[in-house]
Amino acid sequence: MLDFLGKLATPEFFFSIIRISVPIIFATLAAIVVEKAGFANIGLEGLMMFSALSGSLVSYYAGSWFWGLLAALATGVLMSLAMGFFAFRLKTDIILVGIAINMMGSGGTLFLCKVITNLTEGKAMASTTGLITRALCIPNIDIPLIEKIPFLGGIISGHNLLTYLAFLFCILTSVMLYKTPLGLNIRATGENPNAASSVGVSVLKIKYTAIAFSGLMSGFGGAFMSMAYAQGWSQDMVSGRGFIALAAQAMGGGECLGGTLSALVFGFAQALGIKFSAIGLDSNLASPIPYAVTIIGLVIFAVARNNRMKKRHTLAAVSEAKAKK
C-alpha cells in the first residue's frame, strides 16, 4: 500500500493528472458559459468528437498542426451554431439537440472518417491514428526556468501548448464573464432574459455567442484529444468527457475556478485508475472510476447545496428576529 502511495507521489503522476484533465477543463468552461446564459449544452461530447476528427484530418492534409487546430475550432463553432439554430430558431428542446449531436458524434464521425480517407487515401480507415505522426501533433512546451525546479518543474513544465491554454482560458473566461460587457450581458440573459431585452440587449445574439463559445472550447478539447492526448482520432475517443464536464460545471458551483478544480478531481480519478491498471489491476475495473467519482461528486454537491439553502433560510429568520428585538 505504502509502496503504491509512493508511486503516486511522483511528478509524473501529478503531470498526468493535469494532462488528463485538459479536455475536461475545456468542456467545463463551455458548460459554464452556456449555463450562465441560461441553458445547457449536453452536446459537448459530440462537438468534441467532430472537432477531434476534423482537427486530425486537416492537420494531416495541411501537414501542420496549426491548421488542424484551426479546423477543429471552426468545426466546434460552426456545429454549435447549427445547434443554436435548431434550439433557438426551430425551438427544439436544447437537450434533444444535444442528444442528436452526440448520436452523430459517435457513428457519424466514423462515417466521415471512412468516407474522407477513402477519397484521399484510397482505402477507408476506421481511425486517423495511422496518419498522424508526432510532428503533426500540437507541440509540448518546456518552460525555461521552471523546468529546472525539482519536483514542481516536472509537474508544471513540458505540457502541451493546449494545456497551458486551458488554464489561461480558465482565467480569461472568468474575466470575460465578470469584467466585460459581454459577460454582463451573458449573465443578465441567463438570469432574467426579459430584463436584458428590455434594455436593448439582444437575447438571441447573446445565446448564439454563448453556444459558439461552447463550440470553441469543445474545439480545443477535441483538438487536444486527437492531436495531443492521442496521436490521431478513433471512434468514441472522447468517452464521456463531455458529460463529465456537465457534472464538473455543477460541482464547481458554475464558476470557472471551481469548475476547473472539479475537472482536476476527475482527472485525478482517471490518473489513479491508470495507475491501478499499471500495478496489475484489470483496466476494466479502473476505467469506471472517474464515472463513479462523477456521480459521487454530484451527490456531494447536491447535499451541500440543499444544506446551504436550508441554512440561508434559518439565517434569514434568525437575523429578522434579532432585528425585531
Partner 1 sequence: MPDEKKLAAEEYVVRMKKITKVYSNGAAANREVDFDLRKGEIHALMGENGAGKSTLMKMLFGLEQPTSGTIVVNGETLKLTSPSVAIAHGIGMVHQHFMLVPSLSVAENMVLGMVPQKSGMFIDRAKAIELTKEYSERFNLFVEPEAKVMDIPVGMKQKVEILKALVRGAKILIMDEPTAVLTSQETAELFVELKHLKAQGYTIVFISHKLNEIMEITDRLTILRGGRSMGVYNTCDVSKEEISRLMVGRDVVLEVQKGKAVPGRPVLRVRNLEYVNDWNKKMLDKISFDVREGEILGIAGVEGNGQKELIDMLFSFNTPDAGEATVNGVSILGCPQEKIRALGISLVPEDRMLNGIAAGASIEENVISDRASKKKFNRGPLFNMKAIHEEADRLIREYAVLCKSRSQHIGMLSGGNIQKVVVAREFSSSPVLILADQPTRGIDVGATEFIRKKLVELSRSGVAVLLVSADLNEVMELSDSLIVMHGGQIAAYFEDTSDLTDDIMGEYMLGLKQQSAEEIGRVCHD
Partner 2 sequence: MTRKRQLRFTVIRSLVAILIALLVATVLIFISAEGKTFMDKLQATGEALKQLLLGPIFRFSKNAGLSFEAKRLLDIFAAMIPIIFTGLSVCVMFSANQFNLGAEGGIMLGAFVAAMVAIYLPLPAGIHPLVAVLLCGTAVSVVMLIPALLKAKLNVSEMVCSLMLNYIIMYVIKFLMNSFLADKSKGQIQSHRFLESANIPAMVNDPLFIGAKLTWGFPLALIAVLLCGLFMYRSRWGYSIRMIGINQEFARYSGMNVGKTIVLSQLIGGFLAGAGGGIEMLGRYETFSWNALPGYGWTGITIAILAGNNPYMVPLAAFFMAYLSKGCDLMATYARVPAQLINIIQGVIFLFFAADRFLSKYRQKLVVKSAEEELARAGALKED
Residue ranges binding partner 2 (CB under 8 A): 42, 86, 89-93, 95-97, 99-101, 103-104, 106-108, 110-111, 114-115, 118-119, 124, 239-240, 243-244, 246-247, 250, 282, 284-285, 287-288, 291-292, 294-295, 298-299, 302-303, 306
Q: How far does CA 45 lie from the centroid of its chain?
A: 9
Instruction: Kindly determine how many residues on this chain lie close enough to bind partner 1 according to the rule CB under 8 A.
Output: 23
DSSP structure class, residue 209: H
DSSP structure class, residue 143: -
Contacts of 126 (CB under 8 A, 6+ apart): 110, 113, 114, 234, 235
Site map (CB under 8 A) of partner 1, residues 153-192, x = contact: --------------------------xxx--xx-xx--xx
Between residues 58 and 177, which has the closer beta carbon with respect to partner 1? 177
Which three cell numbers, joined as nine digits, stand for 22?
485538459
Overall residue count recorded for the chain in this entry: 325
Contact 305, 252 (CB under 8 A): no
Between residues 99 and 161, which has the closer beta carbon with respect to partner 2? 99
Which of partner 1, partner 2, none has residue 187 at its interface (CB below 5 to 8 Å by kind)?
Answer: partner 1
The distance of closest approach from Cβ of residue 294 to partner 2 in the complex, given in angstroms and rounded to an integer, is: 5
Which three cell numbers, joined as nine digits, stand for 283?
483496466
- If binding is defined by CB under 8 A, does position 197 make contact with partner 1? yes
Contact 134, 236 (CB under 8 A): no
Among 1, 144, 199, 282, binds partner 1 (CB under 8 A): 199
Between residues 50 and 169, which has the closer beta carbon with respect to partner 2? 50
Which three cell numbers, joined as nine digits, stand for 113?
472518417
Contact 170, 30 (CB under 8 A): no
Among 196, 246, 247, 264, binds partner 1 (CB under 8 A): 196
Helix, coil or strand: residue 1: coil
Which of partner 2, partner 1, none has residue 200 at its interface (CB below 5 to 8 Å by kind)?
Answer: partner 1
The distance of closest approach from Cβ of residue 29 to partner 2 in the complex, given in angstroms and rounded to an integer, is: 17
The distance of closest approach from Cβ of residue 247 to partner 2 in the complex, given in angstroms and rounded to an integer, is: 5
The distance of closest approach from Cβ of residue 309 to partner 1 in the complex, given in angstroms and rounded to an integer, is: 8
Which of partner 1, partner 2, none has residue 228 at its interface (CB below 5 to 8 Å by kind)?
Answer: none
From the list 35, 30, 81, 76, the residue with the least C-alpha distance to 55 is 76
Between residues 94 and 176, which has the closer beta carbon with respect to partner 1? 176
From the list 157, 129, 114, 218, the residue with the least C-alpha distance to 19 is 157
CA dihedral 109, 173, 74, 162 (to 10 degrees): -70
Which of partner 1, partner 2, none has residue 135 at its interface (CB below 5 to 8 Å by kind)?
Answer: none
